[in-house]
Amino acid sequence: MKAEIVAVGTELLLGDIVNGNAAWLGRELADVGVDVDMTVAVGDNIGRIAAAVGAACERADVVLVTGGLGPTQDDLTREALAELVGVPLIRDPELEAALLRRYEAAGRTDFPANNLRMAERPEGATALPNPAGTAPGLRIEFGPRGAVVYAMPGVPREMHEIFDRWVRPELTQRAGPGTTLLSRVLRTVGIWESEVARALADLDRELEASRNPTIAYLASEGQTRVRITAKAVDAATAREQIAAVERRARAALGDVVYGVDDDRLEGVVHRLLLDASATIATAESLTGGLLGAALSATPGSSSTYRGGAVLYATETKSDVVGVAPALLAERGPIDPDVAVAMADGARLTFGATYGIATTGVAGPAEQDGKPVGTVYVALVGPDGAAAGTVQAFRFSGDRDGIRRATVLTALDIVRRRIGGLPPR
Amino acid sequence: MKAEIVAVGTELLLGDIVNGNAAWLGRELADVGVDVDMTVAVGDNIGRIAAAVGAACERADVVLVTGGLGPTQDDLTREALAELVGVPLIRDPELEAALLRRYEAAGRTDFPANNLRMAERPEGATALPNPAGTAPGLRIEFGPRGAVVYAMPGVPREMHEIFDRWVRPELTQRAGPGTTLLSRVLRTVGIWESEVARALADLDRELEASRNPTIAYLASEGQTRVRITAKAVDAATAREQIAAVERRARAALGDVVYGVDDDRLEGVVHRLLLDASATIATAESLTGGLLGAALSATPGSSSTYRGGAVLYATETKSDVVGVAPALLAERGPIDPDVAVAMADGARLTFGATYGIATTGVAGPAEQDGKPVGTVYVALVGPDGAAAGTVQAFRFSGDRDGIRRATVLTALDIVRRRIGGLPPR
């Protein structure tokens, strides 16, 4: 079963809002085993909406339309569907009564006449009651393939409710047995997308013939995700197929895989610390608090993150966590030994098992003769500064990118240390 | 001039990522006066990419393609464009040399053969060098209307750079005289979108007739932007039209307007502190470092942000910045007086003119009997804790949303204090 999505709204084309509805529907449709071949966004224009839905009906079995069902003059999906199918718009007395009841229940007497537009439907269309709002959805069949068009309001919560109550059950029934599609995502850190692809090249080639399971690479924010998708007669078989591919992918990728699906690197670090009954403190220079924000992002992180210091002005490195002033004066703040002293100082000041520190040049200008992107990350554990480790990096990108890369790297250094993995 | 956008990537159809690139391009194209009629998302499939780009070329003057230009086997935009236009893919020696140089500059010797795919281009296409990454963009003309196709990588930052450097100037030039479209954005903080709309209702009604200039409201991340757009024969006239509307909008909105266009609230705060020759320090509990990250985000902020403490574990509030243990024991960490003591402690510990502190409940669970969303923000200046101010808030949303709302509010409190405005 093939689906297409048509999102309606000039605000989407102008970029005033992001098309989150299409992404949500994409996930839901994948879950019930329906392939989405194309997503289209069009403006509030009867002709263009009708053309987009009509074209989708020629290619797909199911067309999901979102938006354009509200009460205002620029809500034109009802008109467009009527024009496409070649039927009149009629006012549905049941819908009208339901609208009025809803208004009265809310204690409102100023029923705007415009709102009666939401009681209209193309002749032959079925209304899909909206449990979360006023505008009902619509269901109508059209085109040579007998495509089913489901139109839903663009307000995300209303769309979700109508999809869950009316659309998903019908799609699941139509898809029948034999079309379960399942995905699993392996999350990696500290490895480029091209290196991930090279590590999985053999596996990729083998899967090329059957195209089931498939693997895909998604890179963003310094992390590469590997998505394994299997199509099978039932969920158990799909899971087995995914597990076989996952085993081989993990063997090829090794310890750069830090988690699966919705795991976050900071969440994995939190769990590792929790399992080790350990805590951590931060001393940040160029990251300015971003590392602390990451370590405190996971619910419950107060049991593993003690706190930390943002040591932005150079002398605060001495004043607040006790970096030796002579060392600072001799080397300046961007220095590996200063990083170790910062980490150890944070560990002691905040009473944590581990201290982690970042110092470097986020840019845009070089500092102390050190080029933009120079970064040191130090980690000190219970054995103190003498046993501490420090790694040097040279990141590229703008100020924001260098700060983010530093946070990701620092989290990965903690993950490797607490998880008993070798440094990268 | 009409444009269409084709976003490439199975991850878009599966809903693994939201199509933020289409929204970004929509905004940029609106700014240069190009109408976007349709946005399409297709999967990683040569035939479907070629069909989507080909169909767009029949309707539009400009087709912007994002994604599918990376090094992996599922990056297929190059192949699709070659197939559509009916030309071979050739390897460009200059692109190859540039790629190798980039690798060497990063100190890497293990150049993956796959990466050479990024040195390929359809015969007749022009490469658009990528200032922010490895994969170049492509420019090629196609179809009965001579549509210009610009293909750009899907990584947002790389797409932005290539658009700014190569695409925008050409579009602006093609749009020609007589169609200068200029926009100016007023940025507000601490006011709901509906309140902004109500404040500007009269102005909005007056502009309804001419539709020039237009005003639009864009709400995101707790800020509402007001975009004024004028279309005129030349830039000077458009600027005059905008200035007249801006004066009225500012009069109606008052001091919630903190900046224009690309201004960031943290940048405005940095400038205010700089002008006042003042510095600031932070003491953060629920925000975990996000406030420090904001205050250190602007280049040059080391002259106004001294640093701060993330006081996540309760006892660190005493140990590190000297909050009286008796006060903490009596009231617990989520308390207005504790917030003031934290702010003053940070101010003294970090040697700053001002100290700002956040404490509260980010959730998901309540804490010390205080409901999720309870937040206190305290600001202490040179006159010390006794003259400090503290404000209580009750934010809604999830953990991340409450933390972000707190940061925004804290920055606005500093803006108002240093800028001599009344508290909100």
pLDDT tens-digit map of B109-168: 777 778 889 999 999 999 999 988 889 999 999 998 899 999 999 999 899 999 999 999
Q: Is the pLDDT of residue A180 over 90?
A: no
Residue of B25, B45, B48, B72 for testing the chain A interface, max A β-carbons within 10 Å:
B72
Shortest alpha-carbon distance between residue B414 and chain A (Å): 18
The values of phi and psi at residue B85, to 5°, are -80, -20
> Do residues B334 and B367 touch, judged by C-beta distance below 8 A?
yes
Statement: residue A343 has pLDDT above 70: yes
Neighbours of A351 (CB within 10 A): 15
The stretch B337-361 carries a mean pLDDT of 98
What is the pLDDT, as a whole number, of residue B178?
Answer: 58
- CB contact under 8 Å between A19 and B27, yes or no, is no
Q: How far apart are CA B246 and CA B258, in angstroms?
A: 13
- Give A-chain residues touching B17 at CB under 8 angstroms: 23, 218, 220
Residues of chain A with CATH 3.30.70.2860: 180-260
| Chain A, nearest residue to B311 by Cα | A307
Pick from B39, B132, B293: CB nearest A13: B39
A62 or B208, which is more confident: A62
Asked if A364 lies within 8 A of B299 by C-beta distance, the reply is yes
Chain CA centroid to CA A62, Å: 26
Average pLDDT for A173-193: 83
Distance (Å) from the alpha carbon of A94 to chain B's nearest alpha carbon: 32
Angstrom distance (rounded) from CA B345 to CA B338: 10
Average pLDDT over residues A130-149: 92
pLDDT at site A321: 94
Assigned token pair, B195: 């309140």
Chosen CATH of A2-175 out of 3.40.50.300, 3.40.190.10, 3.40.980.10, 2.102.10.10:
3.40.980.10
Q: Nearest-CA neighbor of B378 among B420, B409, B349?
A: B409
Question: Where are the domain boundaries for CATH 3.90.950.20 in chain A?
Answer: 265-418
Residue A347 has which token pair?
């560990």
**pLDDT, mean over chain A:** 92
- So what CATH class is B180-260? alpha beta
pTM: 0.78
The two three-digit tokens of residue A357, written as one number: 């520190």
Q: For the packed helices A399-418 and A265-275, what is the interaxial angle rounded to 10 degrees?
A: 30
Rounded to a whole number, what is the distance in Å from the CA of A93 to chain B's nearest CA?
A: 32
Look at residue A41 and tell me whether its pLDDT is greater than 80. Answer: yes
pLDDT tens digits for B74-87? 899 999 999 999 99
Q: Which candidate from A30, A218, A316 shows the least CB-CB separation from B307?
A: A316
Report which DSSP code applies to A166.
I
DSSP letter for each residue of B330-375: HH-SS-HHHHHHHHHHHHHHTT-SEEEEEEE--SSS-BTTBPTTEE
Q: Quick one: pLDDT band at residue B177, thresholds 50, 70, 90?
A: low
Q: What is the mean pLDDT of residues A403-417?
A: 97
**pLDDT, mean over chain B:** 92
pLDDT value of position A82: 97
* Residue B242 binned pLDDT confidence (cut-offs 50, 70, 90): very high
Residues from chain A contacting residue B64 (CB–CB below 8 Å): none
What's B265-418's CATH class? alpha beta
Note the pLDDT of residue A106: 67
Arithmetic mean of pLDDT, B395-405: 89
pLDDT band at A110 (very low <50, low <70, confident <90, very high): low
Whole-angstrom distance, CA of residue B349 vs CA of residue A320: 7
Residue of A15, A364, A403 with shortest CB distance to B27: A15
Q: What is the mean pLDDT of residues B358-373?
A: 94
Q: Which residues, in sequence order, are CB contacts of B111 under 8 Å at separation 6+?
A: B99, B100, B103
Q: What does the pLDDT look like over B116-127, one tens digit per residue? A: 899 999 999 999
| Residue A169's pLDDT band (cuts 50, 70, 90) | confident
Model confidence at A177, pLDDT cuts 50, 70, 90, reads low
The percentage of residues in chain B with a pLDDT greater than 90, rounded to a whole number, is 73
Separation CA A112–CA A126 (nearest Å): 24
User: What is the pLDDT, as a whole number, of residue B217?
Assistant: 76
Give the model's pLDDT for residue A235. 83
pLDDT per position as a tens digit, B276-318: 999 999 999 999 999 999 999 999 999 999 999 999 999 999 9
Indicate yes or no: CB of B284 within 8 angstroms of CB of A289: yes
> What are the tens digits of pLDDT across the range B254-272?
999 999 988 999 999 999 9
Please report residues of A whose CB lies closer than 8 A to that of B41.
Answer: 22, 38-40
Is residue A303 helix, strand or coil?
A: helix
The position carrying tokens 């590792």 is A272
Instruction: Report the chain B residue with the minimal C-alpha distance to residue A288.
Output: B293
Both ends of chain B: CA-CA distance in Å? 45
B243: pLDDT strictly greater than 70: yes
Residue A23 contacts residue A17 (beta carbons within 8 Å): no
Of the candidates B250, B290, B237, the one whose C-alpha atom is nearest the C-alpha of residue B402 is B290
Touching A: B residues 163-202, CB under 8 Å: none
CA distance linking residue B231 with residue B241, whole number of Å: 9
Quick one: pLDDT at residue B1? 87
ipTM of the complex: 0.78
| CATH 3.40.980.10 domain position(s) in chain B | 2-175
Q: Give the pLDDT band (50/70/90) at residue B204.
A: confident
